[in-house]
Amino acid sequence: MYNQTTGYLSRMIKFDNNRERRVRMYNPICSTVRQDAEKVKICVYDYNKDYVKQHELKDVREAFTFKENGNISWINIDGIRKADIEAIGEHFGIHPLIQEDILSIGQRPKMDEGDDIMYCLLNMLYFNEDTITVEQEQISIVLGKNFVITFQEDADRDVFNGIREKLNIPKSKLRSASADYLAYSMIDTIVDFYFVVMDKLSDKLEAVEEEIIRAASTRSLAQINSLRRELIVLRRNVLPVRDMVSGIIRSDSPLLDERVMRYFKDVSDHITQAADMVENYRDMIMSMQDLYLNKANIRLNEVMKVMAIVTCLMAPATVIGGIFGMNFDRIPYIHNRYGFFIAVALMLLVPVYMIYLFKKRGWFKRM
């Protein structure tokens, strides 16, 4: 399975409502918490305006030559191993603290500037339709003079296929631009994918709301709670990524070309929009919960009201039955031929009159 191949400890809050629930958090005191990945895949795109070549490497050390080979190089490493990070880190000038961040799990999205590099850590989000959960894959992006190194946890998926396609198009903006534009494209793609996840989450929200309106059941409440938890995962990613992008825009790193800044401002627009939408979803979930509780309450109250009314309507009949069931010698109408029918008629008429009264006061109207 996914978790096993990457040695990646599920660390986001996931609640399996009916049976078990696990909150696993990063315990930074245990420096060995990230197990080395079993499988590591290293892939380099080496390109310039007129040339592009894709290399599959066996060992991270083979990537060293791409540092200053004149072309722009995207070194993508799927599967994180401490030794690899340290080797790469030393050769490409990545500070030990940033190496630690790359190795960390459950880290808050962040941006950091080193002497000759810029570092971004954030999560790619996927929506798992089967478990209806938002899954995260941590990605580290290291931008250098003529290279971008990315560290992913999972070899089997990422969101960069669009970028790979554009790299193969000779005159694309991506091929002509410098390395910072490649880094921008990655962050932009990751943020764009947040909208895909939100879109799917929003479909689920709709489905649950429709279910509540049609026929609210305890299951609905469980689903609301579950969606709320997935939304928290989104929220915990979107808000710090907003800070991260602002940090890039404010940065005066020589690695960032003035013309690329405008592109980061565009990402900033999108992530701000995403933050707005997350807030809207929060409001929607809250009002869905209110709706559910109101509906549940109204249904219960209706039942109680009907029971109370029925019980109340039968009480006069009980009394009348009691009156003529008394053993007095002299009871009016007792020997009358129609006595019984008069009594039973009374038993019917009194509740009918009561119903008339109740109706007049609007007590049968549903609220």
**Residue 84 contacts Mg ion per CB under 5 A:** no
46 versus 154: smaller Cβ distance to Mg ion: 154
- Which residue stretch of 66-74, 85-93, 248-256, 325-333 sits at the interface with a second copy (rule: CB under 8 A)? 325-333
Angle at 221 between CA 217 and CA 224, to 5 degrees: 130
Site for a second copy contains 303 (CB under 8 A): yes
Single residue of 39, 53, 91, 299 touching a second copy by CB under 8 A: 299
Q: How far apart are CA 164 and CA 167, in angstroms?
A: 5
Query: Which among 62, 53, 120, 111 is positioned nearest to 91, based on CA atoms?
Result: 62
Minimum CB separation from a second copy for residue 120, in Å? Answer: 13
- Least Å distance, CB 310 to Mg ion, is 43
For residue 72, CA distances in Å to 57, 61, 152, 174 come to: 17, 18, 20, 11
* Selected binder of a second copy within 169, 286, 310, 352 (CB under 8 A): 310
Tell me the three-class secondary structure of 43-92, residue by residue.
EEEEEECCEEEEEEECCHHHHHHHCCCCCEEEEEEECCCHHHHHHHHHHH
The footprint of Mg ion on residues 15-54 (CB under 5 A) is: 28
Nearer to Mg ion, 136 or 320 (CB): 136
Residue 154 binds: one of Mg ion, a second copy, none (C-beta under 5 to 8 A by kind): Mg ion
Q: What x/- string results for residues 79 through 108 when contact with a second copy is judged by CB under 8 A? A: ----------------x-x--xx----xxx
Q: In the range 225-284, which residues lie near a second copy by CB under 8 A? A: 225, 228, 232, 236, 262-263, 265-266, 269-270, 272-273, 276-277, 280, 283-284
Subset of 156-195 contacting Mg ion (CB under 5 A): 158, 188, 192
Diameter of the chain by CA atoms? 121
Say if residue 328 is exposed, middle or buried (CB neighbours under 10 Å; 0-12, 13-18, 19+).
exposed
Residues 268-297 binding Mg ion (CB under 5 A) are 269-270, 279
Q: Which long-range contacts (CB under 8 A, 24 or more apart) does 354-358 make?
A: 354/312, 354/313, 354/316, 355/313, 358/309
Residue 359: count other Cβ atoms within 10 Å of its Cβ.
Answer: 11
| H or E element, residue 304 | helix 258-324
The dihedral formed by the CA atoms of 94, 100, 102 and 104, expressed in degrees to the nearest 10? -170
Binding mask 85-104 for Mg ion (x = CB under 5 A): ----------------x---
Toward a second copy, which CB reaches closer, 22 or 61? 22
Interface pick for a second copy out of 321, 345, 349, 359 (rule CB under 8 A): 321
Using the minimum distance from each CB to a second copy, give the nearer residue, 314 or 352.
314
Determine if 308 is a binding residue for a second copy (CB under 8 A).
yes
